[in-house]
Structure 1
Amino acid sequence: MKNIALNFCRVFVGLLFIASGLIKANDPMGFGYKLQEYFDVFHIAFLGDFATGIAMLLCIVEIVLGALLLCGFWPKKVTMALLVTIIFFTFLTFVSAFFKVVTSCGCFGDAIPLTPWQSFGKDVVLLLMIVYLYLQRDRISALTSSAALRTAILVCVTVLSLGFTLYTYYALPIVDFLPYKVGNNVPALMKLPAGQKGDEYEILYQLKHKSTGETKSMNDKLYLKSGIWEDDNWEIVGDPERRLVKKGYDIKIKDLNISDASGTDYTKELIENPYYNLVVVAYDLRKTDTAAFGRINALALKAAEAFNVRTVMLTSNAAQDAQSFSERNKLFIEIFYADAVPLKSMVRSSPGLLLFKNGVVVDKWSAAFLPDFETLNEKYLSR
């Protein structure tokens, strides 16, 4: 029975660490964005510029530790490393859940979104298993006793995980779990489907009696029904709190609003264009690949001349900064503005390029794998 329990914990923890590492390595930029949230919460924002690099390193470490545990190599060192890792993440998810500072932990990226409390529960279970593995570390048997073979497997796993992480960083996630993935109809994902209900909220008021000092909480329905609002002895203290009463249908895209420099809404016009149109995404022009903009600019010019394809750029920078960037780089691209959060979800690259038609994401590319006009023409525009 001891062997069964030991082997079960070893295989379960090992596979879970590998799966977690691979899912995050599939989208290292997304994991980096999540780390930036944690850095801001813990007031270490200076690490923000290194978030993606740290994210990539953590992905590789998770995969390697999981593989070594499965193989039973260096059990003392590996179980100690796992123990330190899980203690850190258990503390992190507890703080996130208890103080409600990060709404999603990012443990399994966007593939399996977990609430902070769900993530904390998962980490507690893992912590118990890893403690057991650490206490039983002397009983973990290795798949091979050959030191050379162990080293070779370690190097192979490390190189493969590093290569996979670097590829998805420079290209795009191999499996896209975001709402702007190829084939998705963006306008449809921005609406509440027929027959579905959205989230239900209530407004909570804090009331105080002017004479007695008595306080009470009351939601908006009871506040109106009771008629207490007509009693001058009661006053509302502080700001009303908007609280979720019932979770409704989760609209996949709820925060995409595109406007021009004057604030005019262009979301519908740009996203629902019935013809092919190119959308360049660069959420922060201070942290973008300017050389890639040269290639995009040439592509936009040829597409416009040959097929009258409209090309626009979406950024979260100030209008003055965006205009200066456009002038410096002589861009043949219209500029529009949106919040950084949906722009980061559109494409994990800065800049990134999306091809839309009638609201559908036809294709998208990272800065490192931009198509030339001939490829774009042959594959899409001339058909």
Structure 2
Amino acid sequence: MNDDRRDKLRSLSIDRDEVQGGSGGVSPLVLVGAVLVTALIAAGAVWFLMQGDEAAPAQTQQAASTVEAPASQPVPASSETPAPAASRVPRAAGLVASGYVTARRQATVSAEITGRIAEVLVEEGAEVEAGEVLARLDDTRARLDLDLIDAQIAAAEARVRSLEFQAREARTVTGRASSLFEREIASEAALTAAQAQQSSLEAQLRAARADLDSARVRRTSQEDLIARHIVRAPFAGVVIAKNAQVGEILFPGSAGGGFTRTGVATLVDMASLEIEVDVNEGQIQRVSPGQRVEAVLDAYPDWRIPARVEAIIPTADRSRATIQVRVALNERDERVLPDMAARVTFIE
């Protein structure tokens, strides 16, 4: 920087030799004026350079302070800026525990019998009512057996009608034989034979009627078996998993795998959702049934759900030294889903 100043000053100076050589002689007054002008110009240049050097650090320092301002000083909020954190509702104080949303009513719906799945009528996310049909099994063989039982019932009814006619005739014959025997027209042997025939037909009639009743019971049982080929929802809820497809074998007693399935769909009652948390044994005295709770889902950190302690499970986990607490939600919302992570605060 000093070299630049020296060069600029040297460029502003006047060479006396050039002035004298060019004019062939200059008066002292003119020479003094030139020297004064030169000195004034040089002084002005020096002042200008010094002001520039002092301004540069000031501008640099001002720029640095401008860059650092956001980190050290908060920017004043305008009328459109949200309210500061100090004006928000303070969080509840108390014991904090973490857990997950669970359903008190959840079931993997299946049939009571083994069969090939012929139709599945639901998909994931479908809302169903209690008793609604979820799937159907192939019931062709069961309906054939029902037709066979219907034929047996028809034959039993015909036999019963036939025996009823025979028994009625046998009673008539017995009555006539008894009348003749009383008038000593017929022998006692004829009366005894008529009575035996009547008793035999009546016994056969009772057996035929019993067979008819048995066939009707078998028909009722077969109808119930056919009804068991239909998988229905045991309660109202939402289907969260579709566990089987058409053509697979439904075998509730197996372990599943391959083309064998143990259930058709998993159903959850959304009205029974609650939060299960584990509380340390040393802090369980701070929790009581009915205590107010504030729940926050990890998926919605700004949404605080009012809740309460539903129950304290009367057993401890030996490996983790915790006790399970069930928290019931006071609000029902579609955003609450099973297996969501949650954090609860037991308000004291």
**TM-score if structure 2 supplies the norm length?**
0.18
- Larger relative strand fraction: 2
Q: Which has the higher contact order (CA 8 A, sep 6+)?
A: 2
Which protein shows a greater Rg? 2
- Larger relative helix fraction: 1
